[in-house]
Amino acid sequence: MKFSFKKLNRLMLYVFGMTAALVLLYTLDTRWTVLVDTKDVVVAARQLLPHAEITKDDLLVVRIKENYVISGAIPADDAHQLIGQEALQLIEAGDQMTVNRVDKTSLLRVPGATVVELPEDWILSVPGSLRRLDRITIFAVPTDKELVNPESGSISQLLTEAEKVAEGIVVAYYKDASSNEVKDAEGTKNPNVRVDATVRGRKLELELTPDQLKLLSEKAASGYQFIVGYGS
């Protein structure tokens, strides 16, 4: 059976058509979807420790699929707004930059709240494992009574008289006397890990509404101090 030139032409046309279709599909998958289904975002070019000032060299713009863009990610056009700001937490290389990692006002989860440092003489007890962004409960205890029973040497009824005055309060910062943040004593891989503290905390900054601050102020003026605990 002879193989005609007409059949050969049809075969070549078929092969060409299939090749063109494959090339088109490949182009759509690798080029078109890059333009349509991706977004340019700002990521950390290297690890940033808490309180580090962000420089241009700390930032990198990358294009990633929109499905992987996290909420609040900083778009490429706004990268310049991050320069000079302070890293509020550990940011690993490759992490997408978000407002709540650099903007202190983003800590304020309650409308009308502000960050307030409690006077040192207001505080009776704070857990040594306290860290920034913990949520705490505050108990008021009267300070006009003896802390230790002179007969038994044990703690008096002070704690049983504790009154819960606030809960779910966000710790903005917990610092030592030199205003250094209390963090992991190991200080190697992740300063946010809750282990032994580097220093003993002295200054407690909390996110408080005006009503909460007024309540604590009135309690302190009435002869109360505060015990800080976790949870509700």
Sorting pLDDT into bands at 50, 70 and 90, what band is 212? very high
Q: Is the pLDDT of residue 192 over 60?
A: no
Residue predicted with more confidence, 103 or 84: 84
Residue predicted with more confidence, 4 or 215: 215
Domain borders along the chain are 38-102, 114-230
End-to-end alpha-carbon separation of the chain, Å? 90
- 104-160 per-position pLDDT tens digit: 655 566 677 888 999 989 998 888 888 877 889 999 988 765 554 555 544 455 666
Asked whether the beta carbons of 38 and 63 are under 8 A apart, the reply is yes
Please give the CATH topology (third level) of the domain spanning 38-102: Type Iii Antifreeze Protein Isoform Hplc 12 (3.90.1210)
Q: What residues contact 131, with CB distance under 8 A and at least 6 apart?
A: 171, 174, 182, 183, 192, 194
Within 13 Å of residue 185, how many CA atoms lie on the same side as its CB? Answer: 10
Q: How much is the pLDDT for 73? A: 86
Question: What CA–CA distances, in Å, run from 70 to 47, 64, 128, 168, 215?
Answer: 19, 11, 33, 26, 38
